[in-house]
Amino acid sequence: MNNIIDVAILDLKEVPEFKNLYESQSVEELMESYNIDTQQIPIHISEDFEIINGYRMVEAIKRAGGKTVMAMVIEGRPDVHTRILLNMYRQKTTNDQIKEIREVFRKFPKRQGQRSSENEQYERSRRISGSLNGK
């Protein structure tokens, strides 16, 4: 079960693989939104307080003088694919979109007629499209 908690920013741990997946973008609009409405959407963290998704939000809250963030704890061991799935609605640069596509293609390699463990046909294109939110 995913829990939403308040976490001190100082307790959060950055994961370079997750943080560097996307290009840096301005956090000015997020800071302004935080100053007006506070944080409305939680970031995503692991059970070990590793940031999975929400690096820009954490930076914006820090710059605005905030000391804590609202975070949803994701159970299990997150990977880059988890990061991509949780970050579907952000406006991404072309380079960010290419990185996502490459990562999803790596996750779903060609199998040339192999069946899955459930004895289902492996539909790579459907899985790739689903992972990229229908793109």
For CATH 3.90.1530.10, the residue range(s) in the chain are 1-90
Task: Give me the count of residues in the chain.
Answer: 135
One of 3.40.50.620, 3.90.1530.10, 3.30.70.3340, 3.30.450.70 is the CATH number of 1-90, namely 3.90.1530.10
52 pLDDT more than 70: yes
What is the chain's mean pLDDT, rounded? Answer: 82
Which whole number is the average pLDDT over 29-37? Answer: 91
Q: What is the dihedral of CA 13, 16, 18, 21, to 10 degrees?
A: 150
Residues 70, 75, 80: CA angle, nearest 5 degrees: 90
pLDDT at 96 over 70: no
Q: Are 86 and 18 in contact (CB under 8 A)?
A: no
Please report, rounded to a whole number, the percentage of residues in the chain having pLDDT higher than 90: 42
Contacts of 59 (CB under 8 A, 6+ apart): 27, 30
